[in-house]
C-alpha cells in the first residue's frame, strides 16, 4: 500500500510578505542607482484602521494615492463615516510628517503636482452598491470568507487596476490583506489577474504579517480611529448581529482564534 502522504502533491504556499520585501529591496536599489524618484502606487483602502499601518509601512517607499472605493458598504451613513475617518487619518499623518508642507486646513489635496515627497493623497471612487449586489447575487447566505467575498475582492481590485492603468500608476494594491479575516492568497491571486488584464503591476502583500495587524490596532488607538465591527455588506452586518445575539465576539482577532480551535 502506498504512503498517501508521500504521494499527495503539496501546494507550495507563497509567502507574500517575503515577495513584497524582495520587491521593495529591488525598487530601492533601482531608485538609488536611477533618478532617485519613488514609484507611484494606487492603494485601495477599505477603511482608516486597515490603512494606518499600510501607510506607515509604505509611505517612504512610494508616492501614494489612496483610493477609497467600496461599493460593498451597503449603508450610506457607514460608507461616509469610514470615508471621513480615512481622510482624517491621511490629514493627520501628512501634518505630522517632518518636512511635509502643510495641506490646506481641513482639505485633502487631489492635485499631485508640487506636493512634498511622502504626502498622502486620498481619492474617493463612486458609491455604487448595486454593483456589489450584482456580483453577490445568489451568494447572499454564504458566511464571510467564501465565494461572495472573492467576488467582492475582485470588484474592488478591478476598479483599482482600471484607474491605475488609466492614470499611469506604476503599481496598485489593497489594504485588505491586513485583516486576519481576509484571504490573502485569494487577494494576491486576483491582484495578479487584474494586473495582467489591465497591464499595470500589482504589489503583492500580506500586511498582517510581521505584526502588521497588531500595529494597525496600536495606530488606531493613537489616532482615535473608528473601528467598525463588521466587514461592510448587509450580509456581514447580519452575521455580526447574530454573533452579538449569541454572545459571541465580533472583533477580527477573537473570531479568528475561536475559529482555529
Taking CB under 6 A as the rule, does residue 212 contact ligand SF4?
Answer: no
Total residues contacting ligand SF4 by CB under 6 A comes to: 11
Q: Which stretch binds ligand SF4 (CB under 6 A): 4-12, 123-131, 142-150, 183-191?
A: 142-150
Cβ pair 183, 149 in contact under 8 A = yes
Q: Select 20 or 46, whichever has its Cβ closest to ligand SF4.
A: 46
Taking CB under 6 A as the rule, does residue 231 contact ligand SF4?
Answer: yes
Residue 37 makes CB contacts below 8 A (sequence gap 6+) with 31
CB of 72 to ligand SF4, least distance (A): 4
Closest CA to 58 of 165, 205, 182: 205
Give the Cα separation of 173 and 31 in Å (integer). Answer: 20
Cβ pair 97, 120 in contact under 8 A = no
Taking CB under 6 A as the rule, does residue 229 contact ligand SF4?
Answer: no
CB of 226 to ligand SF4, least distance (A): 17
Site for ligand SF4 in 47-86 (CB under 6 A): 72
CB of 12 to ligand SF4, least distance (A): 26
Q: Select 122 or 152, whichever has its Cβ closest to ligand SF4.
A: 152
Assign residue 106 a region (left: φ > 0; alpha: ψ between -120 and 50; beta: otherwise). left
Q: Does 231 carry a binding-site annotation?
A: no
Q: Select 65 or 174, whichever has its Cβ closest to ligand SF4.
A: 174
The correct pick among 21, 123, 144, 170 for binding ligand SF4 (CB under 6 A) is 144
Residue 120's alpha-carbon distances to 23, 97, 182, 200, 211, in angstroms, are: 21, 10, 25, 21, 23
Q: Where are the beta strands (DSSP E) in 60-203?
A: 62-68, 121-124, 171-174, 201-202
Q: Does 50 carry a binding-site annotation?
A: no
In the numeric block, which cell numbers belong to residue 154? 475582485
28 φ, ψ (degrees, to nearest 5): -65, -40
Binding track, positions 80-119, relative to ligand SF4; x by CB under 6 A: ----------------------------------------
CB of 186 to ligand SF4, least distance (A): 10
Residue 135's alpha-carbon distances to 67, 188, 213, 232, in angstroms, are: 20, 19, 28, 15
Task: Please name every residue paired with 115 in a beta bridge, in sequence order, or none if there are none.
Answer: none
CB of 21 to ligand SF4, least distance (A): 26
CB of 132 to ligand SF4, least distance (A): 7
Q: Select 16 or 132, whichever has its Cβ closest to ligand SF4.
A: 132
Residue 230's alpha-carbon distances to 31, 166, 186, 195, 255, in angstroms, are: 40, 32, 20, 29, 11
In the complex, the residues that contact ligand SF4 under the rule CB under 6 A are 72, 136, 144, 148-149, 152, 231-233, 235-236
- From the annotation, which residues make up the binding site? 46-47, 149, 152
Amino acid at each position: 500500500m502506498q504512503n498517501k502522504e508521500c504521494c499527495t502533491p503539496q501546494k507550495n504556499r507563497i509567502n507574500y510578505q517575503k515577495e513584497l520585501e524582495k520587491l521593495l529591496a529591488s525598487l530601492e536599489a533601482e531608485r538609488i542607482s536611477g533618478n532617485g524618484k519613488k514609484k507611484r502606487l494606487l492603494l485601495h483602502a477599505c477603511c482608516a484602521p486597515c490603512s494606518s499601518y499600510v501607510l506607515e509601512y509604505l509611505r517612504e517607499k512610494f508616492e501614494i494615492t489612496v483610493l477609497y472605493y467600496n461599493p460593498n458598504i451597503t449603508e450610506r451613513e457607514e460608507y461616509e463615516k469610514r470615508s471621513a475617518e480615512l481622510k482624517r487619518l491621511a490629514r493627520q499623518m501628512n501634518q505630522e510628517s517632518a518636512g511635509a508642507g502643510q495641506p490646506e486646513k481641513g482639505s485633502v489635496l487631489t492635485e499631485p503636482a508640487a506636493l512634498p515627497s511622502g504626502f498622502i493623497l486620498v481619492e474617493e471612487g463612486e458609491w455604487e452598491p448595486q454593483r456589489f449586489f450584482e456580483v453577490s447575487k445568489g451568494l447572499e447566505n454564504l458566511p464571510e470568507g467564501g465565494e461572495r467575498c472573492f467576488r467582492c475582492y475582485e470588484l474592488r481590485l478591478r476598479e483599482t487596476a482600471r484607474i491605475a492603468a488609466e492614470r499611469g500608476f506604476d503599481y496598485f494594491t489593497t489594504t485588505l490583506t491586513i485583516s486576519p479575516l481576509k484571504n490573502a492568497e485569494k487577494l494576491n491571486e486576483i491582484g495578479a489577474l487584474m494586473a495582467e488584464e489591465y497591464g499595470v503591476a500589482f504589489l503583492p502583500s500580506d500586511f498582517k504579517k510581521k505584526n502588521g495587524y497588531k500595529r494597525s490596532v496600536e495606530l488606531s488607538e493613537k489616532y482615535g480611529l473608528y473601528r467598525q465591527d463588521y466587514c461592510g455588506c448587509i450580509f456581514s452586518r447580519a452575521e455580526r448581529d447574530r454573533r452579538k445575539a449569541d454572545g459571541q465576539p465580533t472583533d477580527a482577532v477573537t473570531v479568528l482564534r475561536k475559529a482555529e480551535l
